[in-house]
Chain A
Amino acid sequence: MPSHESHAWLWWIPLLPLLGSAIAGALHLATLRARHGDPQASAPASLAPWIACGAMLGSFVLSVTGFLELRELEPAARHLASTAHDWISIGGLDVDLGLLLDPLSSVMTLVITGVGFLIHVYASGYMKGDKGYGKFFAYLNLFVFAMLMLVLSSSLLGVFIGWEGVGLCSFLLIGFWYEKGWPAEAAQKAFVMNRVGDACFLIGSFLLIRLFDTLDLATIAHTVGSTVSFTDEQALDMSLAALFLFGGCCGKSAQFPLFTWLPDAMAGPTPVSALIHAATMVTSGIYLVVRLNPLFAASGWVLPLIAIVGALTALIGGSTALVQRDIKKVLAYSTVSQLGYMFLALGSGAWAAALFHVVTHAFFKALLFLGAGSVIHGMHEEQDMHKMGGLRKHMPQTYITFLAGAAALSGLPLLSGFFSKDEILAHAFANGGLYYGLWAVGALTAALTAYYTWRMVALTFFGEERFDHHHVHPHESPLVMTLPLMVLAVLSILGGVLGLPPVLHVPHLLAEWLAPVTDAGNKILAQSPGEHHLSHALEWVLLGLGSAIALGFAHTGFHAHRHGTAQDEFFARKRPTLAATLGDAWTIDSRYARIIVLPLRMLSFLIAVVVDQFAIDGLVNGTGRTARDIAQHSRRAVDGSLASYALWMGAGALAICALWMWS
């Protein structure tokens, strides 16, 4: 239970970005006004990144302070809470507006503010010269505020508000360049698809209210964790609640079948892709499941379902990334795939492993996105890898850091991605039964990951230069952009120390840190029969297999593509159907277009043409026409003759008197 001691300073962690957002927004408006008079006027918006980065830095420092303060406490007492006031109090339901900093939210907060700060710094260089410079930082800071509310809120309702807030900011930022047209459509798509998930989230919350009469996360987790047995009805309700909450996570974290918005979301500026669609927002689903891990652990069949969905998503994302030509699309499908890994971990009951992958993925995927942004920036907004090549000479710093990120993503031994991915696969393997199949899918996806990652590296940085030398002059990005890359590269390489495998006989730092949160779920899972611990020998085998897969397929992918686009063209010629299917993400999106979007459009057309023009317009016009016709006839009664008015008046008065008399 959270301690009753109040730590009001916690509120500054989310409030600083909110404040920054307000100031940056005001600066943007001031810029618009200044430009209105004189296009050359010095723009106040140039101050916006300083404000935004300052807010992020302050927030990060506070997060570190909170982390250190937590570390001072006994593991079981690691809760810092602050309740602003009673928010809702209806009947038996009390919802407080409160924050809770515990090991889990502290990890998330550190990632959000730390990686977020680096991306803010990067964005101040990347977005320079954009006419929405101030607005961009206002949105970005607003997003961080919403994200921090999501991970810090002590109640599910607060989480939901953050959940909707990040959805809104995601919408605003994907559609940031809405004048181009397609970003606005992508933003709309993301928003609408997230609505599906959000509706599930709400239904899950209602079920939780019915079950527990509270939305307080710690209370729910504690109640489930300490209850010995549930009635059948309760168990069913819990499974349904978990299922619907997982549906919400599917929307936000881009899982099958709701993942198709994420690749389209790459229409936003690259720092947005890095911050929102790789490092933070899309991991909020994982956060939610870990936060409520006892509920999911106790919900029976939902857990394998999560694992299946995760594995399937990982496979779809990984295989689709193989054939993409747009560098950001590769990274987007890669993100979908890695999120699938995280859900596979959750479905295997490996809460800490999932969060470990969230952290390492935040490092290396943010790095890769920012690196890709640097490439795009240097190539004058070119995103097609077939029009790149040989860039390592032109942008050495980007190249080196990108290499570190790619190595981590593909799981090359001893890098961060290697440890987190292998931990997930080991946990899946340990569960046995159905999970052997899922482990195989995961291993296959690992191979695909290594392949497409190094294909991307080869196409971008190696081979002959396929761009038009007359128009494109690749150049290294400024220091303000490469510095965050370097920091993230270091983190990507060293991030693995957070969770070294047990065979090395060193403590798994992250798992130990999260133990107060995840113990309840693990305890429930331990009650179910099955082998949960691998022998050391088997672990070594799995580690070796993982290393071999990563190294082998990285090698293959790199060498198949290092000499140009020939391999891609060969594949497209040899297996055209397969290439098209993969290129279209297993045609899920076009199926949606055919099954859902097209009928909806037809229905809309029907309503617009038939219902609106005939029924509704007919009704409206008919009302007007009828009124006019009635007036046409009745105006004869109003003839201006006082004598007849007097007659009418007398008759009316008589009628009223008569009514009085006989009522």
Chain B
Amino acid sequence: MSSILFYVLALVALLGAAGVILAKSPMGSVISLLGTFFALSVIYLLAGFQFLAAAQILVYAGAILVLFLFVIMLLNLGAMGSRFELSFAPLQGGRARLAGAIAVAFALVGLIAAQRTTLAATSAPAADAPAIDGLEGLALELFGRYSLPFQAVSVLLLATMVAVIVLAKRQREGEHGGERGGERGGDPR
């Protein structure tokens, strides 16, 4: 039963990914991506990763995608079409064909790699995996063996915060900095 659910969810995830590429408006891409994330989240849950499933929903769906939506609305890009429409225009042309070839090659490489990995027993396991990422074990790993990468990631987040503030800050007139490019581009702002 849950195996069938997995295949259905896998299909949903792939369709969502395709929707990201094909949606006419960025808004549609976000919605498709949301579908993919949800499907993945349920797959994680099925595979025994409860914490990761929750984190996927909270961080990806709840935070990152909202951020995307926020930017799309801020820049008024959502107005291109309120309905969910597909457009195959990006997949046409020589460059797109080349890109398609590269993507297919990637998929093939991935499939072959999956095939060759000794980890990936192609037979179905006899039993379900137990809950793997118990909070206690995860915390012990994160703050024990992986405390250094953990701190490095914290520093990365701090740096990101600073960078985002600097980048997004609206510079006042007369200040040196990023606005000079705008003048060259003929932008009165």
A647 touches B99 (CB 8 A): yes
User: Which of A643, A644, A650 is most buried by chain B, counting CB atoms within 10 A of its CB?
Assistant: A650
B102 touches A654 (CB 8 A): yes
A651 touches B102 (CB 8 A): yes
B105 touches A654 (CB 8 A): yes
Residues of B contacting A643 in the complex (Cβ-Cβ under 8 angstroms): 95
B109 touches A647 (CB 8 A): no
| Complex: chain A residue closest to B110, CB-CB | A657
Pick the residue among B95, B98, B99, B112 that contacts A661 (CB under 8 A).
B112
Give A649-663 interface residues, CB cut-off 8 Å to B. 650-651, 654, 657-658, 661
CA gap between A102 and B112 in the complex, in Å: 87
A657 touches B95 (CB 8 A): no
B102 touches A647 (CB 8 A): yes
A650 touches B99 (CB 8 A): yes
Residues of A contacting B143 in the complex (Cβ-Cβ under 8 angstroms): none
Q: Check: B113 CB closer than 8 A to any chain A CB.
A: yes
Give A620-650 interface residues, CB cut-off 8 Å to B. 643-644, 647, 650
| Complex: chain A residue closest to B98, CB-CB | A647
Interface flags, B105-125, vs A, CB<8A=1, else 0: 110010011001000000000
| Complex: chain B residue closest to A653, CB-CB | B106
A661 touches B113 (CB 8 A): yes
B109 touches A657 (CB 8 A): yes
Residues of A contacting B102 in the complex (Cβ-Cβ under 8 angstroms): 647, 650-651, 654
CA gap between A654 and B98 in the complex, in Å: 13
A654 touches B95 (CB 8 A): no
Minimum Cβ distance to chain B for residue A147 (Å)? 65
Total interface residues in chain A, CB < 8 Å = 9
Interface flags, B74-105, vs A, CB<8A=1, else 0: 00000000000000000000010011001101
CA gap between A657 and B103 in the complex, in Å: 13
| Complex: chain B residue closest to A650, CB-CB | B102
Minimum Cβ distance to chain B for residue A281 (Å)? 68
Residues of B contacting A647 in the complex (Cβ-Cβ under 8 angstroms): 95, 98-99, 102
B109 touches A654 (CB 8 A): yes
B109 touches A658 (CB 8 A): yes
Pick the residue among B98, B99, B106, B116 that contacts A657 (CB under 8 A).
B106
| Complex: chain A residue closest to B103, CB-CB | A650
Residues of B contacting A661 in the complex (Cβ-Cβ under 8 angstroms): 109, 112-113, 116
Residues of A contacting B95 in the complex (Cβ-Cβ under 8 angstroms): 643-644, 647
Minimum Cβ distance to chain A for residue B109 (Å)? 5
Residues of A contacting B98 in the complex (Cβ-Cβ under 8 angstroms): 647
Residues of B contacting A651 in the complex (Cβ-Cβ under 8 angstroms): 102
| Complex: chain A residue closest to B109, CB-CB | A657
Pick the residue among B106, B112, B113 that contacts A654 (CB under 8 A).
B106
Minimum Cβ distance to chain A for residue B171 (Å)? 24
Give B1-22 interface residues, CB cut-off 8 Å to A. none
Residues of B contacting A657 in the complex (Cβ-Cβ under 8 angstroms): 106, 109
CA gap between A651 and B116 in the complex, in Å: 22
Residues of A contacting B99 in the complex (Cβ-Cβ under 8 angstroms): 647, 650
Interface flags, A47-83, vs B, CB<8A=1, else 0: 0000000000000000000000000000000000000
CA gap between A657 and B116 in the complex, in Å: 14
Residues of A contacting B113 in the complex (Cβ-Cβ under 8 angstroms): 661
| Complex: chain A residue closest to B105, CB-CB | A654
CA gap between A651 and B112 in the complex, in Å: 18
Residues of B contacting A654 in the complex (Cβ-Cβ under 8 angstroms): 102, 105-106, 109
CA gap between A651 and B99 in the complex, in Å: 9
Residues of A contacting B116 in the complex (Cβ-Cβ under 8 angstroms): 661
Residues of A contacting B109 in the complex (Cβ-Cβ under 8 angstroms): 654, 657-658, 661
Interface flags, B126-138, vs A, CB<8A=1, else 0: 0000000000000
Interface flags, A553-570, vs B, CB<8A=1, else 0: 000000000000000000
Residues of B contacting A644 in the complex (Cβ-Cβ under 8 angstroms): 95
Residues of A contacting B106 in the complex (Cβ-Cβ under 8 angstroms): 650, 654, 657
CA gap between A279 and B105 in the complex, in Å: 89
| Complex: chain A residue closest to B112, CB-CB | A661
Residues of A contacting B105 in the complex (Cβ-Cβ under 8 angstroms): 654, 658
CA gap between A650 and B95 in the complex, in Å: 12
| Complex: chain A residue closest to B102, CB-CB | A650
CA gap between A661 and B108 in the complex, in Å: 11
Minimum Cβ distance to chain A for residue B185 (Å)? 14
Minimum Cβ distance to chain A for residue B162 (Å)? 25
CA gap between A643 and B109 in the complex, in Å: 23
Minimum Cβ distance to chain B for residue A218 (Å)? 65
| Complex: chain B residue closest to A657, CB-CB | B109
CA gap between A348 and B181 in the complex, in Å: 93
| Complex: chain A residue closest to B113, CB-CB | A661
Residues of A contacting B103 in the complex (Cβ-Cβ under 8 angstroms): 650
Minimum Cβ distance to chain B for residue A630 (Å)? 24
Minimum Cβ distance to chain B for residue A642 (Å)? 12
CA gap between A657 and B111 in the complex, in Å: 12
CA gap between A92 and B119 in the complex, in Å: 61
Minimum Cβ distance to chain B for residue A154 (Å)? 60
CA gap between A643 and B106 in the complex, in Å: 18
CA gap between A644 and B102 in the complex, in Å: 13
CA gap between A581 and B116 in the complex, in Å: 94
| Complex: chain B residue closest to A643, CB-CB | B95
Minimum Cβ distance to chain B for residue A653 (Å)? 8
| Complex: chain B residue closest to A646, CB-CB | B99
Minimum Cβ distance to chain A for residue B100 (Å)? 11
| Complex: chain B residue closest to A651, CB-CB | B102
Residues of B contacting A650 in the complex (Cβ-Cβ under 8 angstroms): 99, 102-103, 106
Minimum Cβ distance to chain A for residue B68 (Å)? 18
CA gap between A647 and B105 in the complex, in Å: 13
CA gap between A658 and B5 in the complex, in Å: 33
Minimum Cβ distance to chain A for residue B92 (Å)? 14
| Complex: chain B residue closest to A649, CB-CB | B102
CA gap between A650 and B104 in the complex, in Å: 12
Give A87-138 interface residues, CB cut-off 8 Å to B. none
Minimum Cβ distance to chain A for residue B160 (Å)? 21
| Complex: chain B residue closest to A641, CB-CB | B95
CA gap between A661 and B116 in the complex, in Å: 9
CA gap between A516 and B90 in the complex, in Å: 104
CA gap between A651 and B106 in the complex, in Å: 9
Minimum Cβ distance to chain A for residue B107 (Å)? 11
* 8 pairs, CB–CB < 8 Å, chain A vs chain B: A644-B95, A647-B95, A650-B102, A650-B103, A654-B105, A654-B109, A657-B109, A658-B109
Contacts beyond the supplied A654-B105, A661-B109: 9 A-B pairs with Cβ under 8 Å = A643-B95, A647-B99, A647-B102, A650-B99, A650-B102, A650-B103, A654-B102, A654-B106, A658-B105
The 6 residue pairs across chains A and B that have the minimum distance between CB atoms: A650-B102, A657-B109, A654-B105, A654-B102, A651-B102, A654-B106
